[in-house]
Amino acid sequence: MNHNDKNYEKYIEHQSQKTLDPLKRKKWLSEEWDSKIEGFTNEFSKFSKFLNKDTKCLCLGARTGQEVVALKNMGIDSVVGIDIISNEPYVIKGDIHSLQFDDNSFDFVYTNIIDHSIDPKKMISEIERVLKVGGIFFLQAQLGLNQDEYTVFEITNPLYDIVTLFDQSFCLAIRHVNNDQSFNFAGMNIEFIFRKDEKLSELYEKWGTIATVELPKKYNELWEQINLPIQTKKLDTANILEEEKRSTILTGLKKRAYYLTRIAEIYNSKNILEVGTAEGWQFFSFGEYAKNNSASVTSCDPRDVRNKKYTKEYEGTCHYFQNTSKLLGTLSEVQDIDLFYIDGLHDENTVITDLVNLLDKQSNSPVWIFDDFDARFGCAKDIASIIASSPSGFKVWNVGLTASGFPSHQAMTCEKYKTK
């Protein structure tokens, strides 16, 4: 974002009007002062086991500072509030899109004004930058509601609109603010809890995102030889003929297989299992990783349509079974899988079936990656159920557009699942 842009200046001016409104300020500083401190105290009490005297806290969009006072009243020494208008001693002037703090400065960050952000991705990037590894970000928001004339960003889907904004954090919870689904004292009806993760931070620092990662020559060859012709035909079938759009879609698609190998590298995965081999683009991309990292890859698919050239090239590291996950779950040679990639059938109950079939094949610390986490597929219900049951949290990222022009998402957990 260019903060010298006239549109951004207009945005700041417009948002300032709400904070400077004399009637609103009088209300915030008098009749609502005590009630909002009490309200924030109740909200922050959810983190009583995490917050302590030495926790360094940051409140974004704090306006007159009731959330700052609430945290200080809970015995926390270091609490900073920022807003586009200062209200000292509780709130200093700052920009949620360009925070003035050093990297890894805070243990706990809170906001309820993401709907006022002109660039939510930039805002979240700044929050993750200043948050320490292991730190907690507590976000409260309004789901499906355009609150007032100052709302810039409206949330309609919590997973795709919010969780995908994060690069370095696992989402620990998405829940209604109140059990009866009502709005709280500040008008919020949904809340998110995120924890900045060491491995995800390492992935981000070393390799960037799926959009920014640089594709090495060999992985580009695999893309061009295996998947590019398939995706080009899909673009034609979908009647997507405009060259710029075709180029944008293909540029986004070409990196997804390599990006998953970077996750494997960060987690030092040695035994990878894939469900849904197809022509083998992801299978052989994992194979290229495995060849250079003393690892192995196992995959299954009832149809054998693998690329013959790369089947031969990777026969020492890529092991294929023309069958389903049910068979893999019975094979003694398939053990201690530390990265699962589930990309099989798209119908409801298919992903849960794959997971159950493979439970006994998990290592002590497995990574699970689920493809096609998109509402148009029945398997999205499976994936949503699985990630919601993961105590250590989950990550969802936007892969880009498919060759049919639909948004595409993947989900990830680091969970050892058990039979209920």
Q: What is the pLDDT of residues 235-282, one digit of tens each?
A: 999 999 999 999 999 998 999 999 999 999 999 999 999 999 999 999
Domain 205-413 indexed as CATH 3.40.1010.20:
no
DSSP codes of every residue in 65-98: -HHHHHHHHTT-SEEEEEESS-BTTTEEE--TTS
Fold assignment, 6-196:
Rossmann fold (3.40.50)
pLDDT over 70 for what percent of the chain? 97
Structure tokens at 373: 């986490």
- pLDDT tens sequence across 287-333: 999 999 999 999 999 999 999 999 999 999 999 999 999 999 999 99
The candidate with the shortest Cα–Cα distance to 299, out of 275, 326, 268, is 275
Query: What pLDDT is recorded for position 31?
Result: 75
Rg (CA), the chain: 24
CA atoms of 351 and 161, how far apart (whole Å): 23
* Nearest one of 317, 356, 359, 361 to 337, comparing CA atoms: 361
- Whether pLDDT at 350 is above 80: yes
Close Cβ partners of 133 (under 8 Å, ≥ 6 residues apart): 104, 196, 197, 198, 201
Q: What's the pLDDT at 150? A: 63
pLDDT digits (tens, 9 = 90+) for 187-234: 899 999 999 999 999 999 999 999 999 999 999 999 999 999 999 999
Secondary structure element (H or E) that encloses residue 193, with its range:
strand 190-196
Q: Are 6-196 and 205-413 the same fold in CATH? A: yes
Q: Does residue 147 have a pLDDT over 70? A: no
Which pLDDT does position 146 carry in this prediction? Answer: 66
pLDDT, residue 7, reads 79
Q: Quick one: pLDDT at residue 77?
A: 96
Per-domain residue ranges for the chain?
A: 6-196, 205-413
